Structure 1
Amino acid sequence: MQISSPEKLMFYISMAAAETLGTVDYVVLCIMLGISLGIGIFFAIREKDTKEGYLLGNRQMGAFSVAVSMFVTLSSAISLLGVPAEIYTFGSMMIYQYVSMTSVYIVGMYTCLPLMYPLGITSVYEYLGMRFDSTAVRLLGTCIGMLQTASYMAIALLSPALALQTVAGLPLWWSIVIVGLVGTIYTSIGGIKSVVWTDVFQSSIMLAGILTSIVLGVMRSGGTLNVLKTAHQEGRLGLDEINPDPRVRHTVWGLVIGGFFNWYVNLFTQSMGQRIFAIKSLKGAKMSYLLNAVFMVLYGLLLWATGLALFGFFYTQGCDPYEAGTVTNRNQLMPYFVMQILSGFPGATGLYMSTLFSGALSTVSSGINALAANTVEDILGPSLRRVRSERLVTVIAKLAVCFYGLLAIGLAYAAKSLQGPVSQMAMAAFGACGGPVLGMFLLGALIPWSNKIGAFFGGLISLALNVWMSIYGQIYGPRPTTLPPAPMFACAKEDVLNSTTISMYSNASSMYEATTMTIDESMVAEPFSFADVSYCWYGLMGTLMAMIIGCLISLIAGRTDVNTLDPDLVFPFVRKLCKLREPLTKDDGLVTSAEYKAMTNYRFSWDMYKINAPQENSETTFT
């Protein structure tokens, strides 16, 4: 093999040498894990064993710490690995996803937040039971939401395991067990406070790891201008795909409109709702949403820069690790890149691995804490209401955390055979499982006359169709065409790099253009198939199916009388449009409808409420 310069020779040698983490890297990694465990132990000793404290921090948590926890929970190792790999492989279109994510929090400030926060609930799925006066609807929403959370946790656990397998040569199952057990232990002993404050600590590690990889990657690629020039030349800066065809994987419409619904469902998940309910005031909850909108803008730009630096580095050095067979999965590109640029700095690679572990730990701890809350409140709630010991209920919640932690470990190992960027896997899971349950929430909050029969069958049918479409697309859907890879002259061995290989890569650009043209023509000619639909549309399709089916069944089964509907249970703007009664407050000398529903196990009737409510400004005690 001909090496064109001493720099290329040194690069080739370093790629062969940088295969495992050093002792200092393991020390750094262990310190991070130890601090996370220490935070859990601290809150286990400090806090009393009460259900309210364990699950909601006694509803006295600050807006900033919760906002950071919300952000880190949904960022995770999935985006740290998947988004740069996506930009490296397919280009910059993914950046539009962060436009939709940012808009979700702005919309949520005027829809989800004023609807859910004043109800004083613990589980977000309590809303479904209250709105539709149905235990079945509530349990269906709970089961779908738990399925979505478990799927996301599995992918989040798989992400750092793939990275650790790449840079340390550890077996995949061993890496999954490490992250899963650490997250389970500190969550089970410390509760929501340990999760939130560990997230705050882990966010600083994530920021340091991202900035370090960007700066060193750009420096090793010849500077910012060279990175941008290379990215433009090789098609990584393309942002102009506006094809309305839903079968095109990434378009402006799919990422902005479809991506909005894929992400909007997160505001109605237990992981996010539980944090919002833990904040001490509605004003603080609004501030946490606003902060997350800002965080998403900055995070999207950082990941975009990371992806460009990733491609610029391997292009400048003359080696595409995936095409060379050095890594077997494109999700391993980022950790392999970090090994190359940080191998000369003791402990630096361990710092970046801590970044991935931090993201995964945050997601796993939040997920299993949310699943435990669903178990205690939604599934075992009727039985546990007869238990007088708060300590016993808290112990049951902790056992549930341990169970779901072990379940997440098993699911993550089972997900190892999935192909494609982990960011795509996560968004597909959000859309496939989240779309139907989002449709149930919106059916109740937007359509005052919808009933429980429509909500139940709308959600159930939508779930079946959406999951089928997701699995069908994963098995039979077309594989997306990648952009031309980085050149191979610096990493291929002499007996592999022959004239045919050189010719293939030198003509990669023209081959890509021809392939793209053929695929576009075939899409027009071939009949429509749901297997070809982009994952970006799963959330919107699931939401619309649940709402349309729910409305039709509600019309057939008999519409709900809006005069009997509690106005607390629809969006504020719907109350005005439909001229519903404004919610009663304590300022009127009355208990709120939310308090009355809580006292009557959510079987609420407006007429019954009027009969039981005091007519004068006097206090009434319910027993």
Structure 2
Amino acid sequence: MNTLDLIVLFGTLLSIVAYGVYKTRGQNNIEGYLLGNNSLGWGTIGLSVMATQASAITFISTPGQGYESGMGFVQNYFGLPIALIIVSAVFIPIFYKLKVYTAYEFLESRFDLKTRMLGALLFLIQRGLAAGITIYAPAIILSSILDWDLTMTIFITGGLVIVYTVSGGTKAVSITQKQQMAVIMAGMFITFGVIVAYITDYVSFSSALDVAGKLDKLNTVDFDFNVEKRYTIWSGLTGGLFLALSYFGTDQSQVQRYLGGKNITESRMGLMFNAILKIPMQFFILLTGVMVYVFFIFYTPPVHFKDVSVQKLNGTPYEQQYQELSAKYENQLSERKNQVLQYVQEPNELNEAKMLAADEASKTVRQEVKDLLVKADPTIETKDSDYVFLTFILTYLPHGLIGLLIAVIFSAAMSSSSSEINSLSSTTTVDIYRRLISKGESKHDMLISKGLTLLWGILAISFAILAKNSENLIEAVNIVGSIFYGTILGIFLVAFFLKKVQGNAIFWAAMIAQITVIVFHFLTVYDVITLGYLWYNAIGCLLTILLSGLIQLVLPRKA
């Protein structure tokens, strides 16, 4: 990065922060701070909901996911439009009717205090951890670009978010997200155009798509019924449905976005905006990663994208081996490039087979390098897909545009982190402080809410420091959410549809279901069983519903 990049980067970020603080100056009531005075239109809600979900992780990890594994990850979102229709039809009218600040207030009126506390606590745990990961994601970029200490960078990144979130609350979060989404989408479209321009120096765009398809990068839908696979159409339509339903219907970071709407219609339209555009957006970002893979067929990539890991080989007995593997890799890349060009000129089965063999050979050398890194240091993280898109940005984009793309990633981090911290503060203020400590409204509510926003910002920074050893970041966030979302969703579905189930039954059912999901996760981590994490959502939800009904049959029913 040069001076121009730094001006573009910090100019963009500081203007967004200043805009959020300026537009929410003079805000002095708790309703405005937590709900934005119910003044938000559907466009602001729609962009705010999308920006909350589209974190920096989306723009770091998702292209890397496309580069490494192709388009299959998009199946994760196939259940989302159905979930948003259900939320619009069922959840939103109830929340508006009860005039709640948080989703968990409803649980006490339907069940009892301990169920409300359980729902709020599950949210605070999983969203607090996720907030840390969303701050950590852009911090690794800045630390690697400017050679800053990672921990210090995490503090700086989190501090930017805290400034306007503490200052302006929900309204500051929502109105700044419109600017952030404009920066994000402009940057991504420009980058895609640059990638295609580079590729078309060698082959046409249609030929590039053909090559990507032959290399198994464009397989978007997998109809396999194998539950061990992480991404299939079935896991997307079932586990993905439960995940999206819980996220948009019970996660306060999303609920708070549409509770600030002018009315039910504006909130519903904001969610339908996402139902229509979310899958195409994820498809486009994954396709960008696939195009980066094709790009690196014609332009030499590093044998390992995480330079920090490679540097650990310097001065070790493995350094010479690494040099030999690097030379071998360059030869394999040259052969792959020639075979791809040959296939494009004469697309027949023989040339296709040679192209696939050359591509597989290059992957084999990359794996040999990863194995070498593990030999040198068994604790080293060899997964480098999160660094693929960053490597392209920093190496091949022109100056100025580099600053814009880094601003894209930081804008995404700020938008999602601010929503999370804001919702964590709201839940703690309304469901913990107001309910258990002040026992109702207090003249100190505004001050307490701002103090809790600051506290959750500090805690998110602390969680970010603990996230250093995560694998692919987009998966890390989904795994954390999937562990807890199913149980929370089960509680709400019972509240809406099973009128005979009461507080004690749902509380103990949810506790058992949550413990079961956590056990399944650890059994999967330690390879005792193999289960795609999206299924955690369905298991947690269905167990909660089933057990609550069974337990209610045993327990005496209150009048």
TM bin, normalised by shorter chain, reads 0.7 to 0.9
Query: Which residue does 1:45 correspond to in 2?
Result: 25
Q: 1:18-37, CA deviations, whole angstroms, 9 ceiling, x for partnerless residues?
A: xxx21111111211221122
Aligned to 1:83: 62
1:121-136 to 2 correspondences below 5 Å: 121-132=100-111, 134-136=112-114
1:336 to 2:387 alignment: no
> 43, 67, 75: which one pairs with 2:46?
67
Q: Does 1:459 align with 2:510?
A: yes
> Is the CA contact 1:376–1:384 (under 8 Å) kept in the aligned structure 2?
no
2:35 is matched with which residue: 56, 73, 79? 56
Q: How many Å apart are 1:175 and its aligned residue?
A: 2.5
The answer as to 2:318 corresponding to 1:264 is: no
Question: Where in structure 1 are there 5+ consecutive unaligned residues?
Answer: 1-20, 478-528, 562-623
Contact 2:421 2:456 in 1 (8 A): yes
Higher RCO (CA-CA < 8 Å; seq separation 6+)? 2
| Counterpart AA for 1:557 | L
Matched, 1:120 2:99: yes
1:278-289 to 2 correspondences below 5 Å: 278-289=260-271
- Offset of 1:226 from its aligned partner? 3.4
State the match for 2:552 in structure 1: 554
Corresponding residue of 2:87: 108
Kept in 2, the 8 Å contact 1:71–1:292? The answer is yes
- Note if 1:434 corresponds to 2:416: no
Q: Kindly tell me: are residues 286 and 240 of structure 1, through their superposed partners in 2, closer, same or farther at Cα, counting changes over 3 Å?
A: closer
Contact preservation (8 Å) 2:76, 2:231: no
Provide the TM-score with structure 2 as the length reference.
0.82
Output one character per residue of 1:527-563: Cα deviation in whole Å (capped at 9) or x when no partner. Answer: xx44x101121111111121122111111113567xx
Equivalent in the alignment of 1:376: 429
CA positional deviation for 1:245: 2.1
What is aligned with 2:410? 357
Which residue number in structure 2 is paired with residue 417 of structure 1?
469
Q: 1:63 to 1:324 in 2, by over 3 A?
A: closer
8 A Cα contact 1:220 1:341, kept in partner: no
Distance (whole Å) between structure 1 residues aligned to residue 97 and residue 487 of structure 2: 24
Q: Secondary structure at the match of 2:55?
A: helix
Shift of 1:150: 1.0
Q: 1:395 to 1:324 in 2, by over 3 A?
A: closer
Question: Structure 2 regions of 5+ residues with no counterpart?
Answer: 310-381
Superposed, 1:243-262 pairs within 5 Å as 243-262=224-243
The answer as to whether partners of 1:436 and 1:542 remain within 8 angstroms in 2 is yes
- Counterpart of 1:295 in structure 2 is 277
Tell me how far 1:316 sits from its aligned partner: 2.1
**Structure 2 CA distance for partners of 1:319 and 1:226, relative to 1, 3 Å:** farther
Name the CA distance, whole Å, in 2 between partners of 1:173 and 1:339: 22
User: Could you tell me the percent identity over the aligned residues?
Assistant: 25
Write the distance in 2 (CA, Å) between the matches of 1:147 and 1:455: 19
CA contact (8 A) 2:514 2:540 kept: yes
Residues 315 and 165 (structure 1), Cα distance of their counterparts in 2 relative to 1, 3 Å cut: farther
Asked whether the equivalents of residues 117 and 276 of structure 1 are also in contact (C-alpha less than 8 Å), the reply is no
Instruction: Indicate conservation of the 8 Å contact 1:265/1:430, yes or no.
Output: no
**Among residues 442, 459, 463, which one is paired with 1:407 in the alignment?**
459
Matched residues, number:
481
The runs of at least 4 aligned residues of structure 1 exceeding 4 Å deviation read 323-328, 385-388
- TM-score normalised by L of structure 1: 0.74
Q: State the shift of 1:388 in Å.
A: 4.4
Kindly provide the CA deviation profile for residues 254-299 of structure 1, in whole angstroms up to 9, marking residues without a partner as x.
1222111112111211111112211111111111111111220331
Q: 1:215 aligns with which of 190, 193, 205?
A: 193
Task: Pick which of 304-313 and 346-355 moved more.
Answer: 304-313
The answer for the alignment partner of 1:23 in structure 2 is 3
Residue aligning to 2:150: 172
Rg larger for: 1
Aligned to 1:473: 524
Matched letter for residue 138 of structure 1? R
The amino acid of 2:391's aligned partner reads Y
